[in-house]
Amino acid sequence: MKHVALGAAALACGVTVAARAAEKKAVAHPTAEHHMSMTGCLQKGSEPNSFKLTDVSGERAKGVKEWELIGAPADLKLGDHVGHKVEVSGSMVSMAEARRIEGAQETGKAAQKEMKEERAEHHFKVTGLKHISPTCP
C-alpha cells in the first residue's frame, strides 16, 4: 500500500512539472496563432494593395510604432479606412511567414534586397478590423 501511495505522489509531481514546463514554453515562444489587437492609423503601403499601421498602441505592440499589415481578407476593405484610426486584430508573423503569405517569388539580387527590407519590418496578419475614428492623431 505504501508503494502505491508513493507511486501516485511521484506521478502527481511529474504531471505538475510537465504542465509547468509546457506553460513556460508557451509563454517564451508564442505561436503564430497568438491572437492580439493593436490600434493605430491605417496608411497605404509602398506597394499596390499593401497597408501599414502607424502610431501603434496596444499592450502587445511591443513598442513598435509601425507594422506592415498582411493577409487581410478582402471583405475587410482596408482601402476604405486609409487615414482612419482603426483597431486591427490578428497575429504577429515571422519574416518567412510574411513572405509566404505575400507570395514572394523574387530570386537573386532582387530577393536579397527584398529580404533586407523585410527584416526591418514588423508583420501582422490581419483577421479583423474595427473602425475607431475617421481621423488619425
Mean pLDDT, the chain, whole residue set = 75
* Residues above pLDDT 90, as percent of the chain: 39
For the entire predicted model, the pTM comes to 0.66
The span from the CA of 96 to the CA of 117, in Å, is 12
pLDDT bin (cut points 50, 70, 90) of residue 18 is: very low
Q: Which cell numbers in the block locate residue 35? A: 491572437
Chain centre to alpha carbon of residue 95: 11
| CB of 53 closer than 8 Å to CB of 41 | yes
109 vs 125, more confident? 125
Tell whether the model's pLDDT for residue 132 goes beyond 90. yes
Tell whether the model's pLDDT for residue 26 goes beyond 70. no
Beta bridge pairs of residue 85 = 41, 133
In a 3-state reduction of DSSP, which class is residue 54?
Answer: strand
